[in-house]
Amino acid sequence: MDRNKALEIVKKHLTEHRYVHTLGVLETSLKLAELYGGDLDKTETAAIFHDYAKFRPKDEMREIVKNENLPQDLLLFGSEVLHAPVGAFLVEKEIGIQDEEVLSAIYYHTTGNGNMNTLEKVIFLADYIEPNRHFPGVEEVREEAEKDLNKACLMAVKNTINFLMKQNQKIYPLTLETYNGLMDETQNKK
């Protein structure tokens, strides 16, 4: 799909702030894909549509989870985890994107998974470090992203887990699987 057409479609579903974030994810993910040998076309599509469902009504997202064969345990956690899997579903149904790798990168951009491919890591990390993000620890992850994709993703997921724990929030099991998978990948490199 043409970049401008895709951005036009997604912009209608986002706030101005979230659209700016999406542009930051797009820019960052393309840099990461170039650095780590990712597919630029797939990266571009996944980055543009990664937050497609971010502002859908929570009740609508819960209904999609209930009715469309998405993992039911999503309903047991905060609504933040809903928009990624629901977004992948809606991007396929409403936009017509069929590429499984693109849909998977959208699906896992918030939680990750225990065995992420390069595209999933690039979108996961770009969402975390894009230039409009400002929070403790993000600069260190940005620096690591220029050196080691796996270590940067591991730093991001560690920070996310620590943040959720400090907020007394439950941690979605895939996030823990992401941590464990990245620990295995970084330790096996040594």
Under the banding of pLDDT at 50, 70 and 90, the label for residue 188 is: confident
Tokens of residue 162, six digits: 């620590």
Phi, psi of 91 (to 5 degrees): -65, -40
pLDDT at residue 76, as a whole number: 94
pLDDT tens digits, 93-145 = 999 999 999 999 999 999 999 999 999 999 999 999 999 999 999 999 999 99
pTM as predicted: 0.96
What span, in angstroms and rounded, lies between the C-alpha atoms of 182 and 189?
Answer: 11
- Residue tagged 């920070």 (tokens): 159
Domains, the chain, with CATH or none: 3-188 (1.10.3210.10)
pLDDT tens digits, 45-85 = 999 999 999 999 999 999 999 999 999 999 999 888 999 99
pLDDT at residue 133, as a whole number: 96
Under the banding of pLDDT at 50, 70 and 90, the label for residue 189 is: low
Which of 61, 25, 31, 64 minimizes the C-alpha distance to 45?
25
Q: Where does residue 69 fall: left (phi above 0), alpha (psi -120 to 50 degrees), or beta otherwise?
A: left
